[in-house]
Amino acid sequence: MNIFRLAGDMTHLASVLVLLLKIHTIKSCAGVSLKTQELYAIVFATRYLDILTSFVSIYNTLMKLIFLGSSFSIVWYMKYHKTVRRTYDRDQDTFRHWFLMLPCLLLALLIHEKFTFFEVLWTFSLYLEAVAILPQLVLLQRTRNIDNLTGQYIFLLGGYRGFYILNWIYRYFTEPHYVHWITWIAGLVQTLLYADFFYYYFLSWKNNKKLQLPA
């Protein structure tokens, strides 16, 4: 564990907490994409299939449980909670998530480190995580008026990705044989998707104005 990975995990954790805070205390999920949240639930479910069979550390297992629990509870809130579900922008959040899942599954079947059930699903989760933010970014672009918590949620998620890249660079130079092309390329693609959002986020922060995206 290095400082970059810890920082990445903590910003990831913070992003989930910000979203849960918004949903739990304000009882609103306005501006949050259910499609993206469902994709994240699938990402964690397919990646952490080995939670019972492979043990890395208490920290790892605990974090896996937190990410699994939080992603599924966010989906539950948005779909079934009687007040929260009414604040969901159903008509704007129309991204077809099958268009993301199918290519990711095909790519995982073609490009993987080992052709085993767990390994292919694990690789699928990497590819899917890389593009899972897209429905959220599209929704953001459509609704345009973004409240602070939604903006902070996406900002923290992007921060998590940035720290993970620093973590990989650090591990590459400090650990022998640490080479994981699939993880790196998927992670890099994911981080690049945030670049545009970050640009406008910093612009609004610099000008001390509410975040607004161009049409």
Partner 1 sequence: LDALLSHDEL
Q: Binders of partner 1: how many residues, by CB under 8 A?
A: 20
**CA dist., res. 28 & res. 50, Å (int):** 34
Contacts of 155 (CB under 8 A, 6+ apart): 197, 198, 201
Contact 113, 182 (CB under 8 A): yes
What does residue 148 show for φ and ψ, rounded to 5 degrees? Answer: -60, -40
Tell me the C-alpha distance between 158 and 198, whole Å. 8
Cα–Cα distance between 34 and 40 in angstroms, integer?
Answer: 10
Q: Which residues contact 214 (CB under 8 A, 6 or more apart)?
A: 200
Is residue 5 a contact residue for partner 1 (CB under 8 A)? yes
First CA to last CA distance, the chain: 42
Instruction: Work out whether 79 is an interface residue with partner 1 (CB under 8 A).
Output: no
Q: Does 174 bind partner 1 (CB under 8 A)?
A: no
Please state the closest distance from residue 71 (CB atom) to partner 1, in A.
Answer: 12
Compare residues 8 and 151 and give the one whose CB is closer to partner 1: 8
Task: Decide if residue 164 touches partner 1 (CB under 8 A).
Answer: yes
Distance in Å, CB of 124 to partner 1, minimum = 14
x-or-dash string of contact with partner 1, 51-70, rule CB under 8 A:
---x-x---x--xx--x---
Q: Is residue 184 a contact residue for partner 1 (CB under 8 A)?
A: no
Binding marks (x or -) toward partner 1, 109..148, rule CB under 8 A?
Answer: ----xx----x--x--------------------------
Can you give the binding site for partner 1, defined by CB under 8 A? 5, 9, 12, 50, 54, 56, 60, 63-64, 67, 113-114, 119, 122, 164, 167, 177-178, 180, 183
